[in-house]
Amino acid sequence: MITIDSVPTRRLASGAVMPAIGVGTFGSDHYRAEQVAAAVGGAIRAGYRLIDCASVYGNEAEVGAVLQEAIAGGVPRDELFVMSKVWNDAHEPDAAIASVRRSLSDLRLDVLDAVFVHWPFPNHHAPFADAADRDPDARPYIHEEYMALWHALEGLVDEGVVRHLGTSNVTIPKLTAILADARIAPALNEMELHPCFQQPELFRFCLDQGIQPVGYSPLGSPSRPERDRIVSDVSDMEHPVVVSIARAHGVHPALICLKWAVQRGQIPIPFSVKEPQFVANLRAVTEDPLTPAELEQLRSAEQNNRLIKGQVFLWPGADSWLDLWDVDGTIPGWDGYAADRAAGHAAGRAAVDVTA
* CA-CA-CA-CA dihedral for 204, 290, 293, 24, to nearest 10: -30
CA gap 111, 157 in Å, rounded: 10
- Residues 6 or more apart whose CB falls under 8 angstroms from that of 108 comprise 64, 65, 67, 68
**Is 337 considered catalytic here?**
no
User: Under a CB-based contact definition with an 8 Å cutoff, are residues 38 and 70 in contact?
Assistant: no
- Count of all residues that appear for the chain in the document: 356
Cα distances (angstroms) measured from residue 125 to each of 141, 181, 227: 17, 29, 12
Cα distances (angstroms) measured from residue 185 to each of 106, 142, 210, 245, 273: 26, 18, 9, 38, 34
CA gap 78, 80 in Å, rounded: 5
Catalytic annotation, pick one of 31, 48, 57, 146: 57
Helices (H), the chain: 33-46, 60-72, 93-107, 143-159, 172-181, 200-208, 240-249, 253-264, 275-284, 292-299, 338-355
Q: Which residues are catalytic?
A: 57
